[in-house]
Amino acid sequence: MDIRAWALILALLIYIPIVCYKDWKYREIKHDVWIALGGVCSPILLSLFITGEYQLWMLIISLVSIIIYFMSMKLHVIEGADFMYLMFISLFFIYNPISGHWFMALPFNIFLIATTFITGFIVMWSNLITGKGLSFEFKDGIPMMFPISAALILTAVLA
């Protein structure tokens, strides 16, 4: 696999500080933030399909993940920016050039479930210690870009 696969994962990893900062500071990420990520990664992904290094059937698992994320957004389980980042990760992170493994949507979702449970536990524990009881309440909501980014890093390094 050539440099293009590395460019896809590096672009996603470079976005981690941006999205985490904006999610923590402003609790929202405007849609124009995603234009650069899509603008850089879409042509690279398309070139990988055109040259035959990626096959269209490889998108199936990614598309299933995106559909699940979309349904979760419609059910208000996740919000718009979380959906956008999850969608881009599933769409652009098909192959891991670090480990040489394919279908990264599967291990990413496993790590995402784990980091989400850990985040929930931390929020509950924090609320219990501060006297707010056993709840998932967090000032202005839980910034989910942190567990999403942790899942991405874990997938890139370990999967």
pLDDT at 71: 96
pTM of the model as a whole: 0.91
Alpha helices per DSSP H over the chain? 3-26, 33-50, 59-74, 80-92, 105-129, 145-158
42 pLDDT exceeds 80?
Answer: yes
Q: Give the tens place of pLDDT for each residue, 59-116.
A: 888 899 999 999 999 999 888 899 999 999 999 999 999 999 998 999 999 999 999 9
138 pLDDT exceeds 70?
Answer: yes
Distance CA 51, CA 95 (A): 15
25 exposure class (CB count in 10 Å sphere: 0-12, 13-18, 19+): exposed
142 pLDDT exceeds 70?
Answer: yes
> Which among 152, 88, 82, 75 has a CA at the least distance from the CA of 115?
152
Q: Which residue has the tokens 């999967």?
A: 159
